[in-house]
Chain A
Amino acid sequence: MTTTNTADAADAPEAPPLTGARSVLDLKDWTLELDFEDLAWATFNREGESANTLGRRALEEFEQIVTWAEKAAADKSARGLIIMSSKPKSFISGADIREFDELKTEKAVIEGIKKATDILDRLEALKLPTVAAIHGYCLGGGMELAMACDYRIADKDDATRLGLPEVKLGIFPGFHGTVRSIRLAGPVNAMQAMLTGRMYRSGAARGIGLVDKLVDSKHSLRWAARKAVLKKQKSSGASTAQNLMTKWPARGYLAGQMRAKTAEKVREDHYPAPFALIDLFENFGDDERRMKAAETRAFAPLMISDTAANLRRVFALSERLKSQAPKGLAKPQRIHVIGAGTMGADIAAHCVASGMLVSLQDLSEDALKAAQKRAKKHFKKRLKKKTAVDAALARFVLDPKGDHVPRADVIIEAIVEKLDIKQKVFAEIEPRMKDGAVLASNTSSLPIEDIAEGLKDPGRLIGLHFFNPVPQLPLVEVVKSPVSRDADIEKGCAFVTAISKFPLITKSTPGFLVNRVLAPYMMSAMEKYEAGTEREKIDQAAKEFGMPVGPLELADQVGLDICMHVAEILGIEGGASEGSRTAKLVSAGKLGKKSGEGFYVWESGKPKAEEKTYKKSELATLGKELVQPLLSECEACLADDVVADADLIDAGVIFGTGFAPFRGGPMHYLASTNGVKGTSATASTNTNDGDTTNDGDDDKSDRAAA
């Protein structure tokens, strides 16, 4: 039985053909129909794609629609133009990212942009009412198109999201969307939307002014749009108070604040787009005409930059990871987790927060109670609303005896890393499981095939290797032993995407991919520390390169004992050898964040690093030295077929370690710095739906861009 959580069905055609309307243009990606009330309905339904994106042809056809509407306005043959979509989850998901790579020069970008801005400027200037009726994703270029209409109506469906996420791809809105968003939402809201790339539910979008009217269901969109056209409704735009903020001196003050806030998250030398956007606002924020021209001028160099190309690559990689989960598999609903330690408890809580029913099994009542307490905190932070938190707590079932095993769709073991104990647990579970359920171990150090040895059906066991902290890290390694069945690996991937994470299929070799490449990197950093380099310098250098945290701070977060354990499994010497500073820390019980002190003293979750400044060139050189072992290990992993190809190494290392996304991944970085071939320039986008964004877990997008 498949069940649905939403009250409204999502996959029915959104806008069935209008009764009694006649087609007035022969188009492929759009239909344009005129009904008997003389309302013109432009329905976007891009041919051969599951999502609507503004590709070249779609845009050219839309120009024809605008041209037709100009004529119809002049001879009064139409009373208004309504723009809708008939895709189930996509109004317009954005520009077609796949076409971006063809633009090699600023001149080409400016020419391409001019076509689009001309069309939208003409749409805006149309002498008849224009309405965007929005269901599904309305993002980036799609949001820019909607903003060029007189009025925007959105439904309250869960699938409807609006936003301007361009900054995540190293650019900002380029179809004059910077100007229009400020006009509609005011500078504070609009700049925040563009700087964070946040995706808004329709209610929130209405709150900031990107949407003018809400309707309860998608069925009401057409009727509300009709009414808006007949009443010639126009957006009222941002309030006077908001508009005052575009004037000096408020504008300068705002820009300064935005710059400071953005700098807290990303560095200008790594991610120039948000800073360029703030400059644009500061210089031209109260002059629409000049801002439009300046938008294009500032946009072009960003668009052809390596950073933008690499961020597009990262996006394509994320789509590729998601595509490993076959579509059409039933979404797992009941998850059974064995082991209420940190990992087990956090995996359980994350699954619950993703809407699943989770039973958590552990021999220790205390561990279960502690897990429940932690989970409650997590739910409060993530779900906020009391009913949602209460429902989540009800889905978090403490199951000391494992009564829920027979009903679970996915069973994940996360107990102590001891082979005989794991085997014993699996031997007990296997006969009680239901057919077709996924059986997985969260082991980080034991070969899956060894754990599977005692099973009647060893082929069903897979690894699902989560990273700590579970809520933040977007990657899960799906580990395939020599005997694991492909069907079970696929189901594992489907489960991982169902909890909004990226699956990476890896071979069952020590350390899989992520730990294997991280360990030598961290160990060599410890070696440098041992040799006398200051810890602050090491960590600053790694950040200079683009790592999200320095290796010593990371080691503290992971736990020094665990680092040493992993190093031992992987047979890495040095760094933490006997008598080293690291080994002494461990024997003194200074294990890092969890014990309050490691390389750093930790206070309220933050390391106390000293304020030190080093020469940028020194940091750059040291940064490159620090990542060298990681890069070499990546090459070794490729040679060992740990994952299928170099692009997947990049995907795994970016999403598993936070490796500088703007550099496009370790293998890509190697290729671009040494001229070594191996990765595609942008990672083939073999995705089929080209959504410009994933489902909006802001946590993981933060590491990609502002």
Chain B
Amino acid sequence: MSEQTLRRIAIVGGARIPFCRSNTLYADMTNLQMLTTALQGVVDKYNLGGALIDEVTGGAVVTHSRDWNIAREAVNGTTLNPNTPGVTMMQACGTSLQAAMGIGAKIATGAIECGIACGTDTTSDAPIVFSKKFSKRLIEIGKAKGTGAKIGQLKGFSPAELAPQPPSTNEPRTGMSMGQHCELMAQQWDIPRDEQDALAYESHVKAEEAYASGFMDDLLVPCNGVYKDNNIRADISKEKLAELRNAFERSDRGTLTAANSTPLTDGASAVLLCSEEWAAARGLPVLAYMTYSQHAAIDYLAGRGLLMAPTIAVAKMLDRAGITLQDFDFYEIHEAFAAQVLCTLRAWEDADFCKEVLDRDAPLGSIDRSKLNVRGSSLAFGHPFAATGGRILATLAKTLADKGGRGLISVCTAGGMGVTAILESANAAEKQIDIPKAA
């Protein structure tokens, strides 16, 4: 076997459709349509019509059974070479970031030259199914021979069986929603309401500013007549935020509201990653490099906090990179809830947590908050689960291309998992990383 060296993972850039609150402007769209539009956005942006991409990887969290092969189906709807394979996978809210990590690893080892990581989600077109009992009855009716036998299968039927089973994003083992879990975290870490509201406020202000400055323009592809995320409130005010009622915990203990939590959102995103050689051959820009990535899980069932796993993933990743939490120019910490971000930051500052959970003698410490989510984050843009990673990758890569430096991505997911990555601009990557270059 020939000796293998690792190659750098280039991020060319991404495109996404504007995110919309569920049951609003994309109410008539399907996951497949949205994902196809986002993919085609990347194809058009980087002139990939007819190009063979080594793999397109991604998926959706809330999905119909007909979409079992959605990544490949989306490829078929674009102008990409029809021989482009599609891999459908899912890791909840970390889906498109995990997709990028997988593609990145294959690029690094030389298994592939290029890939598109993508994700889509809609709760406007959520699958609604019959109860298990009724589904089973239908199957038996189908199998039965003769009308009499078929009618016989209806024995003991009760109309209650017809009650549709709406999709649930609740945690199966706790029966609690993300919001209820995060509410517990906020109480556990004693995160006050006003801090959460302040983070939400900043997110909207920064997101609106990103639009106004034109920063967002080439990150978006219009879809269904929509040009801009419809969750961003340009006219947001701290007073209005303070007036909102609790969303998950009605008692005084509650601090999470509709504004400091992300709404159910529809959207899709896609990001092109490749080897430097491939980018050069096609004359494509490299905005940034993905230098490290890591995922981890936390035993939330034992009460550690459902959305705390990114703390572990980041700690491990920092060790591998040999840098500290403070060695970043930008932090992209996905705002599933303002409280999630604030709990994460608090945990990194907390000596006990860092000792017990991260097995560290000293806490990771604080970050410079002015470097956090500088273009806004999910509280403003919304959070179509599987699409969020792609949004963050493209946003951070573009920011690094503009300003240079190093950025941290941290995404919490359902099931108590965290998916994280480090992106670096060309200069920063040269300086910091001692991966041997391909000969």
Which residues of A come within 8 Å of B, CB atoms?
1-9, 11-12, 217, 219, 333, 355, 357, 385, 387-388, 390-392, 394-395, 403, 406-407
Contact = CB atoms under 8 A, between A and B. Distances in A.
B24 interface: yes
B28 A4 contact: no
A4 B26 contact: no
Nearest to A11: B79
Give 5 nearest A-B pairs by CB, closest first: A9-B79, A391-B225, A7-B36, A357-B227, A7-B33
Contact of A394 (B34, B40, B223, B226): B226
Q: Looking at chain A's contact residues, is the secondary structure mostly helix, strand, loop, or mixed?
A: loop
Contact of B79 (A12, A333, A357, A394): A12
Contacts of A12: 49-50, 79
Contacts of B221: 3-4
Contacts of A6: 37, 40
B228 A2 contact: no
B164 to A, nearest CB: 23
A9 B41 contact: no
Contact of B40 (A4, A217, A406): A4
Contacts of B40: 4, 6-7, 9
A395 B227 contact: yes
Interface in B244-294: none
Contact of A390 (B25, B217, B218): B25
B49 A9 contact: yes
Contacts of A403: 212
Given A1-B44, A9-B78, A12-B79, 9 more contacts: A2-B44, A3-B221, A5-B225, A7-B37, A219-B76, A391-B25, A391-B225, A394-B230, A407-B214
A4 B41 contact: yes
A4 B78 CA distance: 11
B71 to A, nearest CB: 15
A217 B77 contact: yes
A12 B49 CA distance: 9
Contacts of A1: 44-45, 218
A3 B222 contact: yes
A397 to B, nearest CB: 9
Interface residues of B, number: 34
A576 B227 CA distance: 49
Interface of B: 24-28, 32-34, 36-37, 40-41, 43-45, 49-50, 76-79, 212, 214, 217-218, 221-228, 230
Contacts of A355: 222, 225
B367 to A, nearest CB: 32
Contacts of B34: 7
A4 B80 CA distance: 14
Contact of B77 (A8, A357, A385, A387): A8
A386 B40 CA distance: 26
A6 B27 CA distance: 16
28 contacts: A3-B41, A3-B221, A4-B221, A5-B222, A6-B37, A7-B33, A8-B36, A9-B40, A9-B77, A9-B78, A11-B49, A11-B79, A12-B49, A12-B50, A385-B28, A387-B25, A387-B28, A388-B225, A391-B25, A391-B224, A391-B226, A392-B225, A394-B25, A394-B226, A394-B228, A394-B230, A395-B227, A403-B212
A4 B44 contact: yes
A320 to B, nearest CB: 30
Contacts of B43: 9
Contact of B24 (A2, A387, A395): A387
A333 B50 CA distance: 25
B210 to A, nearest CB: 13
B24 A407 contact: no
A688 B225 CA distance: 30
Contacts of A392: 225
Nearest to A354: B225
Contacts of A217: 76-77
Contact of B26 (A5, A387, A395): A387
A465 B205 CA distance: 39
A91 to B, nearest CB: 20
Given A9-B78, A391-B25, A392-B225, A406 B45 contact: no
A310 B125 CA distance: 50
Contacts of A388: 225
B222 A333 contact: yes
A7 B77 contact: yes
A5 B226 CA distance: 9
A357 B227 CA distance: 7
Given A9-B77, A387-B26, A391-B25, A3 B44 contact: yes
Contacts of B227: 333, 357, 394-395
Nearest to A333: B222
A175 to B, nearest CB: 35
Nearest to B18: A394
A11 B40 CA distance: 12
A406 B214 contact: yes
A355 B34 CA distance: 17
A387 B27 contact: yes
B279 to A, nearest CB: 17
A593 B399 CA distance: 55
A155 to B, nearest CB: 12
A367 B242 CA distance: 33
B259 to A, nearest CB: 20
Contacts of A390: 24-25
Nearest to A217: B77
A213 to B, nearest CB: 19
A3 B47 CA distance: 11
Contacts of A3: 41, 44-45, 221-222
Nearest to B74: A7
Contacts of A4: 37, 40-41, 44, 221
Contact of B224 (A2, A8, A387, A407): A387
A393 to B, nearest CB: 10
